[in-house]
Chain A
Amino acid sequence: MSALKGDQRSIARIISEVEYFNPSSSEILLELMKMSGYSHVIGITGAPGSGKSTLIARLIDEFRSKDLKVAVIAVDPSSPFSHGALMGNRIRMQKHATDPKVFIRSLATRGYRGGISAATLALVEVFDGLGYDKILIETIGVGQTDIDIMHAAHTIVVLVNPGTGDEIQALKAGIMEIGDIYVISKADKPEAEDAFKQVLFGIEGGILGQESDWKPTVLKVSAMMGQGIKELADKIDEHLEYAKKSNRFYQQIKSRRLQTLKSSLSWFIENKLEDSLKSNADLNNIIEQVKSGQESPYNAVLKIVKKLF
């Protein structure tokens, strides 16, 4: 396989096969999965405009200085209206476009929720199987519940945009709970200090971070000025060592494969359901009754489920 030798075009084509669930991709994916389980998968998540792409470009610098092979999967949302997408994450990373040991791929969510796309996880297996040392996943600009990344990555970096809320925002459920490392981005801004203290308070109080022996850290980074990047890269590697020692590294690989199955399955089921609701006359009847107020939505659910499963 020329993809194994690093041929960019072959790699790109394999990714396309896999991201579109092409029939031929099942076999390729299985072959690559036999060789996967070695890459360090790093999830970079945070609100829109929090600086994920810029930070990734800087992290690539750090990893490349150690001659590591780096893959980036950058996810951006698809339009709910046109189903098209405008993906701009590469803009900040184009400096690395000519480096043969860096592979960057943009991916649209295509209707899948959770902050990444159903295909993202399968692409992790591809890059892992192809021998990339670091796989960086850039989620969409997330909301509070876009937390699918926690099933896929070994190390989760949550970016916090300074000046976007009071201390209660830092304590809420969802995205703020999943970090291994919290990064206060744009640390050159004066509001960064407040955000830093709020997150630190959450960590010290044991409120933030997943349940594990790893105590989350918070770092101040200015990706634009290049400040705090080395410290972040070191912290990411420290987390990798912890993950390997504690067995989390291997548990996460299993978790990611389970999630690949689940997210693909739910994607298919949702589409099949949409299809059936549109084309099946009985189901359409039930829907019309709900719309006109003659049937309770809850009762309709039971009827539809009975008909479908």
Chain B
Amino acid sequence: MGRNASLLSTQTELAPKRRIKVLVAKLGLDGHDRGAKVVARALKDAGMEVVYTGIRQTPEQVVNAAIQEDVDAIGISILSGAHMALIPRVMQMLKEKGIDDILVTVGGTIPTDDIVKLKSIGVAEVFIPGTPLSEIIEFIKNNVKRKQ
């Protein structure tokens, strides 16, 4: 027993340190991905493991990729104006699948009224143009729900 316990503690000590894993996705039909790429790069430089899925993703693709990758957070970038059509669908799908431990944040040109609506359906934060990268990094670090 004692021996086993010490083996286990060695395993825990030496195992790779769990890093925050984030899915960064461009939702809908816009190709403006510079912001998403800059954020993805910044999260990497902050020590996170980032999966970038590229442009023109459907809510289904985003949610399924997030599930397969077992991420702690999803960062959705959207600049097309279709956020009120697409993001509720993402939140609905997560809910249907019983997922309540993935942090969802949104980045893009989102009007103030819509920010309130998005937050009411479970989006944790909305980052509008001009948000410092450090603020996004800190927010994710402080709000992911799973223990690292």
Residues of A in contact with B (beta carbons under 8 Å apart)? 8-9, 11-13, 15-16, 19-23, 78-79, 81-88, 90-91, 94, 97-98, 103-106, 108, 110-111, 119, 268, 271-272, 275
Residues A108 and B49 in contact, CB atoms below 8 Å apart: yes
Alpha-carbon distance between A97 and B64 when the two chains are bound, in angstroms: 6
Alpha-carbon distance between A104 and B58 when the two chains are bound, in angstroms: 17
- B86: Cβ under 8 A from any A Cβ: no
Residues A110 and B69 in contact, CB atoms below 8 Å apart: no
21 residue pairs A–B, Cβ–Cβ below 8 Å:
A8-B68, A9-B99, A12-B67, A12-B68, A15-B70, A20-B15, A21-B15, A22-B15, A82-B44, A82-B46, A85-B50, A86-B40, A87-B49, A87-B50, A88-B54, A91-B53, A94-B61, A94-B65, A98-B64, A104-B65, A111-B16
CB within 8 Å for A91 and B54 given contacts A8-B64, A271-B14: yes
Closest CB pairs A-B (n = 5): A91-B54, A21-B15, A84-B44, A12-B70, A86-B44
Residues B52 and A98 in contact, CB atoms below 8 Å apart: no
Interface of B is mostly: mixed
Residues B8 and A23 in contact, CB atoms below 8 Å apart: yes
Residues A21 and B11 in contact, CB atoms below 8 Å apart: yes
Chain B interface residue bracket vs A: 35 or more
Residues B65 and A97 in contact, CB atoms below 8 Å apart: yes
Residues B11 and A103 in contact, CB atoms below 8 Å apart: no
- Give every chain B residue within 8 A of A79 (Cβ-Cβ): 44-45
Alpha-carbon distance between A78 and B19 when the two chains are bound, in angstroms: 11
Alpha-carbon distance between A87 and B65 when the two chains are bound, in angstroms: 13
- Give every chain B residue within 8 A of A19 (Cβ-Cβ): 16
- B6: Cβ under 8 A from any A Cβ: no
- B31: Cβ under 8 A from any A Cβ: no
- B47: Cβ under 8 A from any A Cβ: yes
Residues B15 and A91 in contact, CB atoms below 8 Å apart: no
Which of B17, B69, B99 counts the most chain A CB atoms within 10 A? B69
- Give every chain A residue within 8 A of B19 (Cβ-Cβ): 83-84, 108
Contact of B41 among A15, A86, A103 (CB under 8 A): A86
- Give every chain B residue within 8 A of A90 (Cβ-Cβ): 51-54, 65, 69
Q: Which of B77-99 contact A (CB under 8 A)?
A: 97, 99
- B131: Cβ under 8 A from any A Cβ: no
- Give every chain B residue within 8 A of A13 (Cβ-Cβ): 70
Q: Which of B14-58 contact A (CB under 8 A)?
A: 14-19, 40-41, 43-54, 57-58
Nearest CB of B to A116, in Å: 14
- Give every chain A residue within 8 A of B67 (Cβ-Cβ): 8-9, 12
Residues A94 and B54 in contact, CB atoms below 8 Å apart: yes
CB within 8 Å for A83 and B47 given contacts A21-B11, A23-B12, A94-B57: yes
CB within 8 Å for A84 and B68 given contacts A22-B15, A91-B54, A98-B61: no
Contact of A106 among B47, B60, B69 (CB under 8 A): B69
- A-B contact sample (19 more), CB < 8 A, given A9-B99, A82-B45, A86-B50: A19-B16, A21-B16, A22-B15, A23-B11, A78-B49, A82-B46, A85-B44, A86-B40, A86-B41, A87-B49, A88-B54, A94-B54, A97-B53, A97-B60, A97-B65, A97-B68, A98-B58, A98-B60, A106-B69
